[in-house]
Amino acid sequence: ILNVEQSPQSLHVQEGDSTNFTCSFPSSNFYALHWYRWETAKSPEALFVMTLNGDEKKKGRISATLNTKEGYSYLYIKGSQPEDSATYLCAFPTSARQLTFGSGTQLTVLP
């Protein structure tokens, strides 16, 4: 059974703070690692798909890094804003190329 684990489960930060969270996944048979943002009452929205060890991707104030050998990815948010409040999910493909999602990190940015 593949386990994708995310930490912390929830996080409260002040507006302007930078923050980061972790996704751990099995390091064997790596295909890709996905990050999604899921705002309340909306649908999950793709942030990044990372495929190479050492990959670093950036989208505005959000960036992510990938270490496939040790099986983790970090998501960073620089200068958090209230609109960044959401659940951040990572997902890892199984051998059938179907995504296994983590339980997410719920971020609340306080004004």
Partner 1 sequence: DTAVSQTPKYLVTQMGNDKSIKCEQNLGHDTMYWYKQDSKKFLKIMFSYNNKELIINETVPNRFSPKSPDKAHLNLHINSLELGDSAVYFCASSQGRGSNQPQHFGDGTRLSIL
State the residues that interact with partner 1 by CB under 8 A: 31-32, 34, 42-46, 49, 51, 89, 91, 93, 96-101, 103-104
Closest separation in Å from C-beta 31 to partner 1:
4
Provide the 3-class DSSP secondary structure of residue 83.
helix
Strand 56-59 to strand 105-110: parallel, antiparallel, or no bridges (unpaired)? unpaired
CB-based contact 10:108 (threshold 8 Å): yes
Cα 94 from Cα 106, distance rounded (Å): 24
Provide the 3-class DSSP secondary structure of residue 84.
helix
Closest separation in Å from C-beta 97 to partner 1:
5
Residue 23: count of CB within 10 angstroms of its CB: 26
For partner 1, give the closer residue by CB, 14 or 108.
108
Closest separation in Å from C-beta 102 to partner 1:
8
Closest separation in Å from C-beta 66 to partner 1:
12
For partner 1, give the closer residue by CB, 46 or 110.
46
For partner 1, give the closer residue by CB, 40 or 70.
40
